[in-house]
A = this chain, B = another copy of it.
């Protein structure tokens, strides 16, 4: 038998309004009345019905997270941070997965007219001005992760710098034939991180005095298999690259697959650098540019919570650091095998 605000009011000998005020500890209630009400609340085990509360206030006591491809390791890591962060403040997290470009606007519509959440975190999706305005009309000021928009808080990394970091590592090792493997852009989602990392690649190459080689720059729909295919093509070139910078760890694993299929040793015959530092990167010994995925979720949760509590808060732009993690997939070009692992293929 659910106990309502009326039960509490009757039992405490006050009106529902007073109980409501106590529960929202907003208005000034006399200490005596407050204590009395709280006693009854405890005695009856009263818990406000969130549906009623939601209807009266216009928003549900949940936080919505819109994120493309929840099954991707990088998305998982971010969601972990988000869930962890919101658990600390007691907010259930509703997850909206975007598997196709049109899902994004569908979910946005759900947020604005269907169930209105307390707040929202939007990951990796470009927020056009109309989108921002629509959300704002509904009283929603989402926190962006891996994306930016005027007037909204965001948690990002410097993808250009990250791409340059990876590429510079390779050129410093002595590589001149460095390939780039990124996401094919025209997929309708408008993701920009791969493009930015590509920019960083170009910059670092220029800084190292390496002439760009168009044949070395390839893109493919995101995925391990597609990356493997592209790498096969790369390795079949008359003058194949000695190193590959992949715009994500998933793609870097595909590069590794292609190298293995061709009988190339890594890093002796081919150096590989990834991006993200997802869990498997450590196990694969992959050299990569680490971005704080878990922390990005945590930070977004913290910022959103702060904005919910103080609506007038100024937008915050948080740039998380990237860092090169050197493991076992990078070495100078043509370097001798560290151990005679394959006697049948002498260097």
Chain A contacts to B: CB under 8 angstroms: 1-3, 45, 47-52, 54-55, 58-62, 64, 70-71, 73, 76, 80, 83-84, 87, 92-97, 99, 109-110, 113-116, 137-138, 279-280, 283-284
Residue of B nearest to A46 (CB): B113
Q: Smallest Cβ distance from A183 to chain B, in angstroms? A: 21
Verify B113–A49 contact, CB threshold 8 A: yes
A51 pairs with B58, CB closer than 8 A: yes
A96 / chain B contacts, CB cutoff of 8 Å: 92
- Chain A contact residues: helix, strand, loop or mixed: mixed
Complexed CA–CA distance, A2 and B55 (Å): 14
Greatest chain B CB density within 10 A among A54, A137, A284 is at: A54
Separation of A94 and B59 alpha carbons in the complex (Å): 15
Count identical subunits in the complex. 2
Among candidates B1, B54, B59, B109, residue contacting A47 with C-beta atoms closer than 8 Å: B109
Chain B neighbourhood of A62, CB < 8 A:
62, 94, 115
What are 19 A-to-B residue pairs whose CB atoms are below 8 Å? Answer: A1-B137, A2-B138, A47-B113, A49-B114, A49-B115, A51-B116, A55-B55, A61-B114, A61-B115, A62-B115, A76-B76, A76-B80, A87-B97, A87-B99, A92-B94, A92-B96, A279-B280, A280-B280, A280-B283
CB contacts (< 8 Å) of A283 on chain B: these are: 280, 283-284
Per the bound structure, the CA–CA distance linking A64 and B61 in Å amounts to: 13
> When the two chains form their complex, are residues A94 and B94 in contact, meaning their CB atoms are under 8 A apart?
yes
- A325, chain B: closest CB distance, angstroms: 16
